[in-house]
Chains A and B, each alone.
Chain A
């Protein structure tokens, strides 16, 4: 930067903290690891100063100041552990709780509610009120995905600012004044592509997603840091799982990718993982249609069929569709396997959809860029048209297809005619699809939440996904399937281990070369752009 930001020093309770000039004092204190209660301040939203909870005592100022709307100044002396500050917090919390319904047992936020946490830590033990609590609207259906509970609302206006500044759709407002203030919608319902983020920013249970409403208590959830698989933006997420099931996805902060937001479509796209229609065992074609088979048997059948095909038709007539949903490592191993076979052509079908200028990208798969960076596919359409032509011309007579995206590219009759003509079809997919009915072997694919690996997003940032729920015992992940087939086809004894695969990838001369696996932190790392 040409104009470096000056760093200033602030004394907070005898501790000296440093922060760039212009930082809100609250943010500086939070960054230093201090525990300052606050509601309305959000690092990605403008400052509102409505909750009054973050007040601190600053030398030279006559009254307590809200630290969110106070910028750090050099030589500032701040007192937090101060009886006056403590008393103020207690008073503010008592005010916020004055009309709070205290229906924590039925509130989905209970357990991660800031009002609960801060009242327990900084508030009074018991309420002094004797009047009945104010009644307001509960369970108001204000949008496709969101329920509003006006009794629980503490009027921090985070959601209002979110709709004004981030989604720019202006649905939520606070109406009336003083103790009659109430959060509501006005002329349109809360229906935008990012509406569910208001439930994240809401520090209490006033805004809840319908998807998570009365489903699971948050204290049973186990969080796994991962990456959203729904488009090539690669928003960082937390997978919340319990009892072997995913219950919700929430955005994880990454200033390089998604700040603290994610779109509703991505957030709701986890149900396929636990879909009962998913393939739970390999299927092998038999007399009376596909039948379940053991893993070893199915892999042996697949390897045998490929070897047989290559012997009869030559390796050049064998082609493959790589999947943009699989990780970098798996696709690399897929490439190795195809090299071991000597396959003639590789293409990739990428599902496409709507995009906007914020987070939603047109490519509805997480790792299309990774497949391209590995050099598996080339061309504007990732070799799709050329592959379809080669199949039609009879140059490609056997296909190994990963994923169901080939069926989604349009040109339905054309693709079906090609699939009908093939001598050998091996499919690796999440579910059985009737249009892949001619597959000799169908191997179950593994969902993003059940495996480890890395995705490369549209901008070339490599980010890790991690296993949140365990697949059934004896399960082979996609990478293990490719490795087993490669071993059987070329008499090798490789294993699928992330570090060793990554080392091979880096040694392959691809753009992954400059990147060590253990250097990919929780926020990912950019590919070597040189």
Chain B
């Protein structure tokens, strides 16, 4: 077999790509800042540096991707039309959808919508693939369960009223091209 040489056009070097140590220092700067900041607090007498979850919580940024949930509209129905794109986009195949038909104007809905949270890796590709803004990465991160079966979330467990998801929907509208 003849060897073929493929010339790849590489992007021109920028200042930051030519000087990777800047990025290293930038990352290290976070550690340094925290170290000296906490050191200062310690010297002034503070003993406890932990955040006492669950009584105490960090403020979650809107970019946080927690558990994927289904948007529930005002009439109590899901916004999802069971198109299956999230199921297709999901790298871990944790979503299972069985569609069904209704007499509503939007004729299709998921009869079964299961997410196996033990397999979900919170990548958010489902949210990005969704054409209906129906599956949304919520800020819910407390999803541990006592059994494997408890990690299988069904449609009824996944529905969250859409106004509770406003932070995230605003964020994805800003950040994803739609």
**A interface residues, Cβ below 8 angstroms from B:** 104-106, 110, 138-139, 213-215, 217, 219-220
Contact = CB atoms under 8 A, between A and B. Distances in A.
Contacts of B107: 106, 138-139, 214
Interface in B88-138: 88, 99-101, 106-108, 131-132
B101 A214 contact: yes
Given A105-B131, A217-B88, A110 B83 contact: yes
Given A105-B132, A220-B88, A214 B83 contact: no
A139 B81 CA distance: 16
30 contacts: A104-B83, A104-B131, A105-B83, A105-B85, A105-B108, A105-B131, A105-B132, A106-B81, A106-B82, A106-B83, A106-B106, A106-B107, A106-B108, A110-B83, A138-B107, A139-B107, A213-B101, A214-B82, A214-B100, A214-B101, A214-B107, A214-B108, A215-B99, A217-B83, A217-B84, A217-B87, A219-B84, A220-B84, A220-B87, A220-B88
Nearest to B85: A105
A219 B87 CA distance: 10
Nearest to A243: B96
Which of B81, B88, B108 has the largest number of chain A CB atoms within 10 A? Answer: B108
A219 B88 contact: yes
A214 B108 CA distance: 7
Contact of A214 (B88, B99, B132): B99
How many interface residues does chain B have, given as a range? Answer: 10 to 19
Which of A104, A138, A217 has the largest number of chain B CB atoms within 10 A? Answer: A217
Contacts of A219: 84, 88
Contacts of B87: 217, 220
Contacts of B84: 217, 219-220
A219 B99 CA distance: 14
A137 to B, nearest CB: 13
A217 B108 CA distance: 13
Contacts of B83: 104-106, 110, 217
Contacts of B108: 105-106, 214
Given A104-B131, A214-B100, A217-B87, 8 more contacts: A105-B83, A105-B108, A105-B132, A106-B82, A106-B83, A139-B107, A214-B82, A220-B87
Nearest to A139: B107
A132 to B, nearest CB: 15
A463 B127 CA distance: 46
Contacts of A214: 82, 99-101, 107-108
A394 to B, nearest CB: 55
B38 to A, nearest CB: 50
Contacts of B100: 214
Nearest to A105: B83
Contacts of A106: 81-83, 106-108
Nearest to B108: A106
A139 B101 CA distance: 11
Nearest to B103: A139
Contacts of B82: 106, 214
A105 B100 CA distance: 13
A312 B104 CA distance: 70
Which of B82, B84, B87, B100 has the largest number of chain A CB atoms within 10 A? Answer: B84
Contacts of B99: 214-215
Nearest to A219: B88
B18 to A, nearest CB: 35
A139 B108 CA distance: 12
Contacts of A215: 99
Nearest to A138: B107
Which of A104, A138, A213, A214 has the largest number of chain B CB atoms within 10 A? Answer: A214
Interface in B147-178: none
A214 B132 CA distance: 17
